[in-house]
């Protein structure tokens, strides 16, 4: 017996692919070139190769890069459960554990709780050896802006 995805499952998968497209088409990605993203139900994974342009004065990756990866991974995990409206980060707390000098960074985001008004998601950042280098927790809320009005997000 063959398994055929339901219309709802196809729409959900399309939503994930459109979120990935939204991430990759954002202007900020020109600076963070080489990053990749994968979105699934209540999860997101972002990878970014380090570059010297990310370094602070001590030749390690600046905390702003940690923040971006953690916030994005948590945001896209949260956005995976909201198909109609754009969400925004209302707060985000990060903890930096160790410096990164070279290699590939991987951020993994996961939804911890979701209600109509608030989504809480966490993210962990790993170096290329799989060691945790930072983690964070964010709160995300819906806006009045429809996802379909965003230039990088289109249902097709």
Q: What is the mean pLDDT of residues 136-142?
A: 98
Give the per-residue pLDDT at 156: 53
Residue with tokens 């998601």: 121
8 Å CB contact between 67 and 92:
yes
* Rg (alpha carbons) of the chain, rounded to whole number: 16
Kindly report, residue by residue over 105-122, the tens digit of the pLDDT: 999 999 999 999 999 999
Give the per-residue pLDDT at 5: 74
Kindly report, residue by residue over 68-99, the tens digit of the pLDDT: 999 999 999 999 999 999 999 999 999 999 99
d(CA 80, CA 84): 10
Q: Work out whether strand 104-114 and strand 85-96 pair parallel, antiparallel, or are unpaired.
A: unpaired
- For the chain, domains (ranges, CATH) are 7-149 (3.10.129.10)
Confidence of residue 154 (pLDDT cuts 50, 70, 90): confident
Give the per-residue pLDDT at 155: 58
d(CA 49, CA 77): 21
Give the three-class secondary structure for 20: helix
Confidence of residue 6 (pLDDT cuts 50, 70, 90): confident
> And the tokens for 123?
């993210």
Kindly report, residue by residue over 16-59, the tens digit of the pLDDT: 999 999 999 999 999 999 999 999 999 999 999 999 999 999 99
3-state secondary structure 22-88: HHHHCHHHHCCCCCEEEEECCEEEEEEECCHHHECCCCCECHHHHHHHHHHHHHHHHHCCCCCEEEE
């Amino acid at each position: 017996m063959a398994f055929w995805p339901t219309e709802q499952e196809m729409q959900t998968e399309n939503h994930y692919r459109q979120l990935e497209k939204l991430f990759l088409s954002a202007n900020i990605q020109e600076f963070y070139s080489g990053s990749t993203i994968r979105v699934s139900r209540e999860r997101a994974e972002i990878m970014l190769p380090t570059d010297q342009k990310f370094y602070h004065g001590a030749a390690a990756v600046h905390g702003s890069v940690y923040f971006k990866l953690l916030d994005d991974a948590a945001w896209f995990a949260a956005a995976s459960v909201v198909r109609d409206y754009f969400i925004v980060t209302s707060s985000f707390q990060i903890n930096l554990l160790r410096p990164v000098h070279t290699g590939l960074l991987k951020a993994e985001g996961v939804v911890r709780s979701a209600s109509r008004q608030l989504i809480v998601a966490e993210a962990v950042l790993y170096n290329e050896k799989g060691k945790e280098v930072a983690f964070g927790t964010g709160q995300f809320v819906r806006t009045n802006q429809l996802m379909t009005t965003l230039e990088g997000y289109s249902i097709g």
